[in-house]
Structure 1
Amino acid sequence: MSTVAIIGAGVSGLSMANYLEKNNVDYHIYERRTKDDLKGHGFILPKEGIEYLSQIINIDELYTKGSFLKKYVHYGHKGDVISEKDLDNVFVISRSTLIEVLSKNIPLQKISYENTLALSGFSDGKATMQFEDYSSLQADIVIASDGSRSRIRRQIFQDEVMKAVLENEVVNIIENEELANQIEHNFLKFHHEDGGLTFGVLKLSSTKILWYCQFDISKFFINEDYTPDCIRQFMMDNFGNWNPLVSSIINQSSYENAHIWRVYELEKLNDFYYKNIAFIGDAAHPLIPFTSQGVTSALKDSYILTNLILEENNINTAFKKYEEERKPEIETHIKNGRILLNQFLLPLDQQPKDTLPISYK
C-alpha cells in the first residue's frame, strides 16, 4: 500500500488520517503549528456531518462535548423576532474540542508538529516535499489539507485568483453560567436593520457560549493590530446598544483568544488534484462561513478519497473520480454561500424571512 503524507493537522487533515488509520493505510501528518495551538472558532455540523464523523470517532463522546440546536431564531438587532425554523440534528462544537476528539485515534508517532513543507518536485512517481532546513521526504501520495490559503495549492496553481469576501468575522467563546442559563439550545442570530452586521449566539454547554459577529468590511473596520483591546472596542462601538443579551455577552467576554476570521474565496475552483497530490477541505475549496458546510465537506472529501485510494489500482484514476464526485456538490455550496452573503449585505426589510444560514446540496 502507498505511503501517504498529510500536510496539515486541522479538521480535514485529521479526518483523513482517521479514515486512513481505520483502513490500515500507512501515513504521517505534518503540521506547521505547535501541538497546543488550538485557537479558533466553533463549527456547526448538519446531520450529514455527524453521520460521517460517527464512522471514525465515538459519537456518544462527541455528544457530551457540544450541543444539539433545536431551532434557528432570527432577530432584528434590538430583539424583535423576524422568523423561526426548526433544525434537524444540527450540532455545534468548538474547534479545539473537535480537534481534540479527532486526534485521539492518531498514534503520537504519526504526527509531527512545527514542520512546514513545500513542494520541490516529482521523481520516480513520488512527490518530493522539502522542510525549512532543506531536508526532504518522498511520498507516493500527498494529501494537501493546509487550509484556505494552502501554500501547496498556490505553488501548483500559480494563476489562481484568491479574493477577499465582503465579510469578516470576530469569533469568541465565553464561559459564563449565568448568561448560558439565559439561552436555550437554539441558534440565535441578530441582524442590524441596515444590513451587513450580525451577531450569532450558540450554546456549547451549561457554562459555555460560542458567539460571533459578521461585518461588511466596506463599512466596518478593526484596527489591524488586532489586539484584544482593539477587538473589544470594535465590539462595543458596533454592538454595545443591541439587544441586552448581545451587549451582556460582549461586555463580559475576554478578548485574549478572540479569533479574527478574514474570509477569502477562490474566484474559480482549481482541479482537486495534480499528479500524486490531492487537495481536501479548505485547501481544495474554501467555503465562506455562511454555508456552515466546511467540516462536513472535509469529512466527505476524506471518506470518499480514502475509499477510492483503496479501490483503484491507479492513483490518477482515484483522484479523477474523487474530483468528479465532490466538485459538483462544492459548486452548489459556493453558489448558495454567495446568495446568503448577498442577503447579509442587504437591509433587513429586503431579506427573505425563511432563510437558514446553512447551505444544503
Structure 2
Amino acid sequence: MSKVAIIGAGVSGLSMANYLEKNNFDYHIYERRTEDDVKGHGFILPKEGIEYLSQIIDIESLYKKGSFLKKYICYCHNGEVLSEKDLDDVFVISRSELIEILSKGVPSGNISYEKTLTVDDFSNGKANLSLDDKTSIDADIIIASDGSRSRTRRKIFEDEVIKAVLENEVVNIIEDEEIANQIESNFLKFHHKNGGLTFGILKLSPTKILWYCQFDITKYFINEDYTPDCIKQFMLDNFGDWNPLVSSIINGSSYENAHIWRVYELEKLNPFYHNNVVFLGDAAHPLIPFTSQGVTSALKDSYTLTQLLMEGENLQETLKKYEEERKPEIEIHIKNGRTLLNQFLLPLNEQPKNTLPISYK
C-alpha cells in the first residue's frame, strides 16, 4: 500500500484524510498553522456536497451544527424584495464546526500541526520532501491541499499566472439570539443599487448568524493592516445606512475573528498533478466564491482520487484519470463564477433577475 503525505489540514486535506482512513491507506497530514487557528468563516453546501460528506462522517453530527436553508431572498440595500427562490437541500455551516467534525475522523497520530512540508526537488520521478528543521519525509504520493495560493503549486508551476479577482469579502459570525429570532432559515442577500457591494446573511443556529459582505476592490478599500477596528469602520462606512437588519448585525458584531478573504484565480488551470504530487481543492482549482462550490468540489476531488488510487496500479495513469474526471466540471464552475462576478459588478437594474449564487454543473 502506498504511503501518502497530505499538505494542509483545511477542509480539502481533512476530507481526503477521512476517505483514506475509511479505506485503510497509510497517510499523514502536515499543517503549518496551529490547531486552533480557525477564523469566522462559513460554507454553503448544496445537496451533492452533503451526499459526499455522508460517506465519511456521521451526517447527524453535521445537521446539529448548521442549518438547512429554505429560500434565497434577494433584496435591494434598503430592504425592498427583488426576488425569491426555493432552495433544495442547501446547508450552511461554519468553517470551525466543519473542521471539527472532519478532524474527529482522523486519528491524532496521523496529523502534525505547526509543520511546514516542502517539496524540495524531484529525483527518479519522485518528490523529495522536508520539514522546516530539514527532516526528510518519505512518501510515495504527495497530496497538496494547501489552498488557493498553494506554495506547492507555485514551486512546481513557476510560470503560472495567478491574479486578484475584482471582489474581496469580509466574513464574520455574530452570536445574538435577539437578532437570530428575526431571521428565518433563509439565505438573505442585500445588493446596493449601484452594484459591486452586497451583504449576505445565513442563520447557523437559534443564536448564531454567519454574515459576509462582498465588495468591488476598485471602488471600496480596507486599510491593509486589517485590524478589527479598521474592518468595523469599513463596514460602518459602507453598510451603516442599509436596511436596519444589516446595520444591527454590523453594530452588534465583534471583529476580533473577522476574516478578510482576498480572492484569487488562476489565469489558466495547471495540470492537476506533477510526477507523484497531486493537487486537491483550491490548490488545484481556486474557485470564485460566488459559486458556493468550494467545499463540494474538494469533497468530490477527494472521493474520486481515493477511488482511483484503490483501483489503479500505475500512479501516473491514476493521476491522469483523476484530472480527466474532475477538470471538465471544474471548468464549468470557473465559467459560472466569472459570469456571476461580472453580474455583481453591474448596477442592480442591469443584473439578471432570479440569479442564484450557487453554480451547478
TM category (shorter chain) comes to over 0.9
Partner of 1:108: 108
User: Could you say which residue in structure 2 is the equivalent of 1:291?
Assistant: 291
- Report how far residue 127 of structure 1 moved: 2.1
- SS of the equivalent of 2:221 reads coil
Distance, in Å, in 1 between the alignment partners of 2:123 and 2:247 is 58
Query: Which residue pairs with 2:179 in the alignment?
Result: 179
CA contact (8 A) 1:129 1:138 kept: yes
Give TM-score scaled by structure 1 length.
Answer: 0.99
Residue 61 of structure 2 is matched in structure 1 by 61
> Which residue number corresponds to residue 30 of structure 2?
30
Give the secondary structure class of the aligned counterpart of 2:179: helix
What is the distance in 2 between the residues matched to 1:168 and 1:91? 23
Q: Which amino acid aligns with 1:146?
A: D
Q: Is the 8 A contact 1:75 1:189 kept in 2?
A: yes
Per-residue deviation, 1:126: 3.5
Question: Structure 1, unaligned stretches of length 5 or more?
Answer: none
The answer to whether the 8 Å contact 1:125/1:140 transfers is no
Q: How does 1:47-196 map to 2 (within 5 A)?
A: 47-124=47-124, 126-196=126-196
1:18 Cα deviation from its structure 2 partner:
0.2
Q: Secondary structure at the match of 1:359?
A: coil
Task: Give the structure 1 partner of residue 44 of structure 2.
Answer: 44
State how 1:311-350 maps to structure 2 within 5 Å. Answer: 311-350=311-350
Q: CA deviation at 1:40?
A: 4.1
Which AA in structure 2 matches 1:265?
E
Report how many aligned residue pairs link the two structures. 361
- Aligned partner of 1:276 in structure 2 is 276
Contact 1:127 1:138 in 2 (8 A): no
For residues 360 and 163 of structure 1, the distance between their equivalents in structure 2, rounded to whole angstroms, comes to: 24
Q: Which amino acid aligns with 1:234?
A: F
**Identity across aligned pairs (percent)?**
79
Alignment partners' CA distance in 2, 1:310 and 1:186: 40
Q: Is the 8 A contact 2:40 2:173 kept in 1?
A: no
Three-state SS of the structure 1 residue aligned to 2:147 is coil
More off after superposition, 119-128 vs 197-206: 119-128
Query: CA–CA distance in 2 between the matches of 1:37 and 1:185?
Result: 28
Say if 1:5 and 1:30, in contact at 8 Å, map to a contact too.
Answer: yes
Contact between 1:83 and 1:354, CA under 8 Å: does it hold in 2? Answer: yes
- Inter-partner Cα distance in structure 2 for 1:322 and 1:352: 35
- RMSD across aligned positions (CA): 0.7
Q: CA deviation at 1:138?
A: 1.8
Distance 1:120 1:272 in 2: 19
Hey, what does 1:253 align to over in structure 2?
A: 253
Classify the secondary structure of the residue corresponding to 1:139.
Answer: coil
Query: TM-score, structure 2 length as denominator?
Result: 0.99
